[in-house]
Structure 1
Amino acid sequence: MKGIFKELKVKNLIFRNRIVMAPMCMYCADSEGYANDFHEIHYTARAIGGVGAIIIEATGVETRGRISNRDLGIWDDSHIEGLRKISDSIKKYGAVSGIQLGHAGRKCSVLSEDVIGPSAIHFNEEEKTLKTPREMTKKDIAEVAEKFKNAAKRADDAGFDFIEIHGAHGYLISEFLSPLSNKRNDEYGGNIENRVRFLKEVILKVKEVWPNDKAIMLRVSAEDYEKGGNTKEDMAKIILLVKDLGIDIVDISTGAVVPAKINIYPGYQIPAGEYIKNNANIKVIVGGLITTGNEGTEIIESKRGDLVYIGRELLRDPNWVLNQAKNTGIKLEYLPKQYERGF
């Protein structure tokens, strides 16, 4: 097998291929953050369809950490049962199961919540569904890091193979990392070493409870697309500051830290991922409007990325991996027998 159909081993994980289902919010949990039948069917269908790994959508580590009041939650032990059903089902059909642990920070649209951020700076004054966050105290910072730890313990109890810390898209960790949203004058703001401090504390807290033989991923926005913001060069420096704390794979995305015009095209985020892979010497997941297996294979064979995430294409076609194999004449040993007539 070659390209996207190669296996990859990371710690105790064996990815049957290089395709990762990107974390995409479904906004259909109930108001208390509980998973339902849709989530189980949605993710299981992609496991049956052949993806190598699935990252469950951004899941709030506390109620004010939700992007919306329809986000999944992992802030209470009562969330474990529903999440375990999803994880078990994903693994039953051969994919590696992961969950993204997130905190929305200033992009929390649940306006009844105490919206927080590194600085009291609104994401976009024209966006009426958001409000200006309260600048976090050091006590707040310590409490949220503890919430990530508790969420990681629940993710382990729910049987997930790996966790992904959400440090991208202008959510809380991303807000600390970017000089556009972090204007603090204490040890959590200013230079890169200070801006990365909160992320370091989150990772160290998570490591207290997360098994050493299970992988930890980190999602980042490698480009802010705004003057004075982070660039791929800055993000490579940030990764070098945290990777030895226990980060195994970096999931490369871009943007959404501030409103910005982005020129998007197939593979537009690959150069940032390739740069971070080479300059931080770490495995990366890359993607961005990838639609064909040939595009993914080029990325893997040219060593521009180690895994490729697919988002919209998997919404359109749960059997995307099976179809790419069929299109290239590859017979997959994990093609479900029930589907053989179709492939």
Structure 2
Amino acid sequence: MYMSLTDSLTFNNGATVTNRLVMPPMITFHANEDGTVSQTTLDYYGARSNVAGMIIVEACSVTETGKGVPFQIGVYDDKFIPGLKQLAQTLKKDGNKAIVQLQHAGRESGEAYKLFNEAHAPSAFDMEFLGYPVKELTNEQIESIIEDFGQATRRLMEAGFDGVEIHGANHYLLQQFFSEYSNRRTDNWGGSLEKRMKFPLAVVKEVCRVVEESGRKDFIIGYRISPEEIHEENFGYSYKESTQLIDAVLAYPLDYIHLSLMTQYDQKATNSDRTYSELFKEVIADRAKLIIVSNVFSQTDAEKALEYGDLVGIGRASLIDPEFGKKIIENRGDEIVSTLTQAQFDKAKWPPVLSQMYKSGNYPLPPMPGIETI
């Protein structure tokens, strides 16, 4: 069946988004130092309130000891709720769905290490690339973090958000538990594939429990996953394992699965002639929707990407042109700006730290077209 970018979409829980475009979560370093929502946060997201039908706020920390980067929004205390309410109102002012990505950075908790001289992971072993040691999480700490995901969800419902995305990708804590490279435990949380699934599934279960008890039947729950973890000699898992995880995740009432892809929306799996989209769609079936991302900069790109998923993420494109979705809806897709200029940069309201990191080449996303002109 033909789908248009301007078609609405209704999730299994009854929530409806007005179009098929999604602004995916991208760390942009805009909160205050204490994790509260800043004016920079409101300016950045306010400029993008109609960039897509659904906007996902990036990597908000569910616990202070799991903070990955500076200027990261916190959702681990009720003190954050007033600022989060402002953010939800800012994002939703044009009728779009506002989602928050829930994250614990695990071994990647560099900011937490600066604050507390500690970072935690499923297992402790020599990871020279980090530049600091990590400690193995105790069973008590693991159970506490699971509860933290649930409490963060409660706060976000109270703040007026439309949903949460559980961050199980990009080498953060949920992926670390699932990976046979980073999870070397021999207890109930590691070893076999089934045991390595236990932590991410426990987080999903807890988030779903909190939402169900709230009575918010239309509250959206998504799960983001990196479909493979294969880095030369370091093997974490292949798509054969990650599709099994998603099959297990979808035993719970989730609304979407979000594939984290770095090169192309039609990227093929390792040692396979099939795309990740095909492989995951086969497992997902009609149980949830699929968000596909990567290398979408124009209306034509987005239309092609929609052939691979139900919703299309416009990451770097949304950083360049905050009116990406609005222009398509108003039949002005040919006016989308896909390369940064100084004038467009001024309109885009980038947080200062994001600008510095992109210009220095230290940002983890692929290069930004036109960044050298800024």
Shorter-chain TM-score: what band? 0.7 to 0.9
Q: Which amino acid aligns with 1:285?
A: I
Q: Which amino acid aligns with 1:194?
A: K
Equivalents in 1 of 2:207, 2:89: separation in Å?
A: 22
**Which one is further off, 63-72 or 274-283?**
274-283
Aligned position for 1:288? 294
8 A contact 1:99–1:164 mirrored in 2: yes
Aligned position for 1:233? 240
Cα deviation code 1:153-186 (max 9, x no counterpart): 0011011111001111111111001111111111
- Fraction of identical pairs, as percent: 30
Matches within 5 A, 1:103-252: 103-110=104-111, 111=113, 112-113=115-116, 114-122=118-126, 124-128=127-131, 131-210=132-211, 211-226=216-231, 228-252=235-259
Cα deviation code 1:81-127 (max 9, x no counterpart): 111111112222111010001100000112233311100135x5144
Distance 1:272 1:266, change over 3 A: closer
- 2:322 is aligned with 1:321: no
Aligned position for 1:336? none
TM-score normalised over the length of structure 1: 0.86
Cα deviation code 1:13-53 (max 9, x no counterpart): 2111111101111212122100111211211221234x110
Equivalents in 1 of 2:265, 2:249: separation in Å?
A: 29
Distance 1:308 1:115, change over 3 A: same
Distance 1:307 1:29, change over 3 A: same
Aligned position for 1:297? 303
8 A contact 2:246–2:283 mirrored in 1: no
Any stretches of 5+ residues in structure 2 without a counterpart? 270-274, 336-374
Equivalents in 2 of 1:60, 1:138: separation in Å?
A: 20
Q: Which amino acid aligns with 2:20?
A: R
Equivalents in 1 of 2:99, 2:264: separation in Å?
A: 27
- 2:92 is aligned with 1:91: yes
Aligned position for 2:316? 312
Equivalents in 2 of 1:267, 1:312: separation in Å?
A: 17
Q: Which amino acid aligns with 1:307?
A: L
Give 1:213 shift.
2.9
TM-score normalised over the length of structure 2: 0.79
8 A contact 1:149–1:209 mirrored in 2: yes
What is the alpha-carbon root mean square deviation over aligned residues? 2.1
Cα deviation code 1:47-93 (max 9, x no counterpart): 234x1100011100111111123211001101011111111122221
Q: Which amino acid aligns with 1:200?
A: L
- 2:24 is aligned with 1:22: yes
- 2:43 is aligned with 1:41: yes
- How many residue pairs get aligned? The number is 316
Q: Which amino acid aligns with 2:191?
A: G
Give 1:323 shift.
3.2
Equivalents in 2 of 1:178, 1:40: separation in Å?
A: 36
Aligned position for 2:14? 12
8 A contact 2:164–2:221 mirrored in 1: yes
Equivalents in 2 of 1:321, 1:116: separation in Å?
A: 39
Aligned position for 1:333? none
Equivalents in 2 of 1:20, 1:7: separation in Å?
A: 12
